[in-house]
Amino acid sequence: MKLLIQNASYIASNGEKKQSDILIEDGVITKIEENIKTAVDRKIDGAGLLTAPGFIDLHIHLREPGGEKKETIATGTLAAARGGFTTVAAMPNTRPVPDTKEQMDWLMQRIEDTAKVRVLPYASITTRQLGKELTDFHALKQAGAFAFTDDGVGVQSADMMLQAMQLAAKENMAIVAHCEENTLIHKGSVHEGDFSKKHSLNGIPSVCESVQIARDVLLAEAAGCHYHVCHISTKESVRVVKDAKRAGIHVTAEVTPHHLLLSEDDIPGLDANYKMNPPLRSASDRDALIEGLLDGTIDFIATDHAPHTAEEKAAGMELAPFGIVGLETAFPLLYPHLVKKNVLTLEQLIDFLTVKPAEAFGLPLGKIEIGATADLVLINLNEERSINPEEFLSKGKNTPFSGWDVSGWPEMTIAGGEIVWEKGCVTA
């Protein structure tokens, strides 16, 4: 397949805004120059659009196997493509869990057969994510695991976490952690704060997260392991990561769009579309997350796309499962709310969704240059439209952002040199 994007406006790897044609041959960017004249399978008019590297989301839930009512690898990766994502890393809290070579082999084959974009599968740290025994890191790495995580639950035993980090270090792999100290969850469904008090709900305190991050950065120092903090949500957590980085510990962290844009003050009532884990914290936590992103404490943005059925979410704030979808709304939310409001520059936002996650995990992706994998998204920055969950290609419609007027919608997504999604062609 040979594609030519004509008059593409893009941001070069040195941060400069450029305009030229981009030629894609056999999945690779082979030429970037003005007025490329050559026969191609398709010419794409990039005028008036921003061409960016395909977005990378290192934290999503595809639910397959076992949760196909909520999402499948096919539907989740099509949703990713619609959101401009060309690489996603899938969490292992499926049934069964990818915790053996056999399960990982099955998953890799299923991805090969049904995924629309690149999927990097996480393997679990412990068998069935039960926190009782470690999985075979070496065999799982050989089978294709991207990194190790028990996302959805924290690893409770410090000894087990230390052993996991030592093994991961030996395999040159990262430990990716959902940080929650079980004895501090207090059966909470929301943040312990103003909202929980007002509605007499059990709250999850900030220390439930930060105390485990504090433990883990010290374990990572002892083990010499790359330790990555999932969906950081509190100001204390940001402080701990900042201190750890200053001490030279190999720690990285991600933050979600919803934790950057919302706080507990924005929850209108007992609507489970505002229920996620970690929960929406206080406004001062949200401000600390933005500051942490700006000063380099937080490395990149990841959506924690977590689809659930409407029936499950209808169970109410206390009983509904945690999680919201995020793949199809990330850029159109962040562009008007962070870039247009001058919190971030456009270059910074794109970096947080492309080259920053790539660099944190040593992936050779996220740049527009000759020889790079042709993962690209063409975005109409001027298109203003409100978020309508009924338009989502994800099976999950569970979002707190329904009806928000946003801008910066993707028009076309190219992954590995193939057009995997295009506005108006739903099943590309």
Classify 315 as helix, strand or coil. Answer: coil
CB of residue 357 to Zn ion, shortest distance in Å = 16
CB of residue 152 to Zn ion, shortest distance in Å = 6
Q: Which residue is nearest to Zn ion (CB)?
A: 178
Q: Which amino acid is at 62?
A: L
Q: CA 223, CA 249: separation in Å to the nearest integer?
A: 10
Q: Using CB under 5 A, list all residues that contact Zn ion.
A: 151, 178, 230
CB of 132 closer than 8 Å to CB of 159: no
- What is the four-CA torsion angle of 378, 52, 426, 88, rounded to 10 degrees? 180
Q: CA 215, CA 179: separation in Å to the nearest integer?
A: 10
With respect to Zn ion, which residue has the nearer C-beta, 59 or 313?
59
Q: CA 66, CA 50: separation in Å to the nearest integer?
A: 38
With respect to Zn ion, which residue has the nearer C-beta, 63 or 178?
178
Q: Which residue in 216, 299, 304, 351 is the catalytic one?
A: 304
CB of residue 278 to Zn ion, shortest distance in Å = 8
CB of 15 closer than 8 Å to CB of 2: no
Burial bucket for residue 112 (CB in 10 Å: 0-12, 13-18, 19+): exposed
With respect to Zn ion, which residue has the nearer C-beta, 278 or 366?
278
With respect to Zn ion, which residue has the nearer C-beta, 22 or 230?
230
- In the residue annotation, 304 being an active-site residue is answered as yes
Cis peptide bond N-terminal to 268, omega within 30: no
CB of residue 302 to Zn ion, shortest distance in Å = 10
- If we measure between CA atoms, which residue out of 376, 403, 393, 419 comes closest to residue 29? 376
CB of residue 149 to Zn ion, shortest distance in Å = 8
With respect to Zn ion, which residue has the nearer C-beta, 153 or 365?
153
Kindly list the catalytic residues.
304
